[in-house]
Amino acid sequence: MIEKEKTLEILEKGLRFSSADQTELLLLEEDTNLTRFAENVIHQNVAKYDHALFVRAVLGKKVGVAVTNGIEDDDIKKVVENATEIAKNMEEDPEFLSLPTSPRAKEVFGFYKNTFDFSPEDRADSVDLIVKKCKTLNLYASGAFETTTQSLAVSNSLGIRQYFKGTEAYLSLTSSKDGQSGWAQGLSRDISKIDIESITETAIKKTLMSENREELPPGEYTVILEEAAVASLLLFLGFLGFGGKTFIQQRSFMSGKIGEKITGDNITIVEDPFLTEMPGIPFDYEGVAKKKVKLIENGVAKGVVYNSYYANKAKVESTGHALLPNNPYGPYPKNMVMGSGNSSMEQMIKSTEKGIFITRFWYINFLNPMRTEITGTTQDGTFLIENGKIKSGVKNMRMGQSILDAFSNVEMMTKKRKVCPQFGVVMYVPAMKIKRFKFIE
């Protein structure tokens, strides 16, 4: 990894090389180490290191973006010149005002040396523990164990100077046998917090419980969603409406709804990059310090997240949620937190006369974005609940459900919450009991 001082020096050189009216440089560095295993055998061990230098050059109301993975002086000079040349050939954007300014971001600790130092041998030893437990029960273990160290630095000609370095460890495990399967995962910046034994036992337990699976007809059911399943709903809710771009363009379910009730009273969702359980990067890809943002509070739509461009259009302040400068999606929340309830998983199951227990969803896609309707299948641990007890496994089912409707029908939530990563977004959510959840053909 490049030292902090060297990283910031690279960005300063880029600013000095620029002849543009305004200039922004971003250096993203990633060191990823991954062990994949299937059918109780490690089949892939990968180490990948790379860095990318992004330059955004502004000439009046014209903006150009260029990127390179070279960081020598000639590379830096060339990519700055390329961004400037691209800006010259762009059409003017009358709604572009300026690159942002921002105070120094809040200090967030995210680098754990034990995660950074975790070796291929260490990952192999961890997989060996998993495989041995599965083999004793004639099960197959498949999954991935990954560690990542990432640094992000942003500087611009208006005074922004931001730097962050952090680590992540992630374990995903599926155990299987004769068409039945169970799944569990763990994520932490500190690899010592990845509870390999608990993850393995959870996946194994669900596999063994999935014998003699029943087939249920489509219809509306009471469901109990584990945290990963709740996180999938929250993730797509974010995709569909918590970003400033779609909000301004009237393509968000939040558009025109601020201050109105859109879910049940027990739903509160906050974008919180400073969560102790899994802190995010404290600034965005423009270098703007991130803010906590209330998205939904007690069922009422409260707000969305912004980068500087869409904040200017909306005449509000940026919340620090810009993505990479060459992305087409606009701002997006990356650290969503859902309020908890006061129940336990055991209490939710015991209170259910008949329902379906769901571990997670798979291959989710949109049906009707404005109505927040999505579809996807259950996966790796779906069970029938009868008379307050899990009775048997259930064959996977396809849901067709409005997320807002689901969050309007939440009867119970666990007090305990878990960190759930999906598609680069980290969520901290409870498990839920939801009535009238729809399954389709």
Task: Note whether 384 and 316 are same-domain residues.
Answer: yes
Task: State whether 31 and 124 are in the same domain.
Answer: yes
204 domain residue, yes or no: no
Q: Is 326 helix (H, G, I), strand (E, B) or coil?
A: coil
Both 33 and 168 in one domain: the answer is: yes
Do 51 and 193 have their domain in common?
yes
- 164, 260: one domain: no
Radius of gyration of the chain (CA): 23
DSSP one-letter code for 369: G
User: pLDDT at position 187, please?
Assistant: 97
pLDDT tens digits along 72-129:
999 999 999 999 999 999 999 999 999 999 999 999 999 999 999 999 999 999 999 9
Contact at 8 Å (CB) between 316 and 304? no
Is there a contact between 271 and 296 (Cβ–Cβ < 8 Å)?
no
d(CA 254, CA 236): 13
Tokens of 120: 């291929």
Is residue 203 one of the residues assigned to a domain? no
Please enumerate in sequence order all residues whose Cβ is within 8 A of that of 152, keeping only pairs 6 or more positions apart, or say none. Answer: 26, 27, 28, 29, 162, 163, 164, 165, 281, 283, 285
Q: What is the pLDDT of residue 4?
A: 97
Find, among 118, 95, 96, the residue nearest to 34 by Cα. 118
- Count up the domains in the chain and report the number: 2
Q: Indicate if 194 and 216 belong to the same structural domain.
A: no
On whether residue 182 sits in a domain, the answer given is yes
Show which of 165, 198, 231 is a domain's final residue. 198
Q: What percent of the chain has pLDDT over 90?
A: 99
Query: Whole-prediction pTM value?
Result: 0.96
Domain boundaries, position 356 = 212-441
Specify if 205 maps to a domain.
no
- Average pLDDT of the residues of the chain: 97
| 403-436 residue pLDDT tens | 999 999 999 999 999 999 999 999 999 999 999 9
Residue 365 inside a domain? The answer is yes
Using CA atoms of 357, 264, 428, 368 in order, give the dihedral in degrees to the nearest 10.
80
User: Residue 102 is encoded by which pair of tokens?
Assistant: 């921002």
Based on the fold, state whether residues 348 and 303 are members of the same structural domain.
Answer: yes
Residues 228 and 153 in one domain: no
Going 395 to 396 to 400 to 405, the CA torsion angle's sign is positive
Do residues 187 and 324 share a domain? Answer: no
Same-domain status, 186 and 237: no
Q: Does one domain contain both 182 and 243?
A: no
- pLDDT 10s digits, 217-237: 999 999 999 999 999 999 999
pLDDT recorded at residue 423: 94
Domain boundary among 166, 198, 230: 198
Same domain, 180 and 239: no
In a domain, 377, yes or no: yes
Mind listing the pLDDT tens digit for each residue in 236-287?
999 999 999 999 999 999 999 999 999 999 999 999 999 999 999 999 999 9
Give the closest residue to 147 by CA, choosing from 178, 182, 123, 177.
123
358 pLDDT more than 90? yes
Output the furthest CA–CA distance in the chain (Å, rounded): 72
Q: What is the pLDDT of residues 124-147, one digit of tens each?
A: 999 999 999 999 999 999 999 999
Res 212: pLDDT: 87
Q: How many residues does the chain have?
A: 441
Q: What is the CATH number of the domain that holds 182?
A: 3.30.2290.10
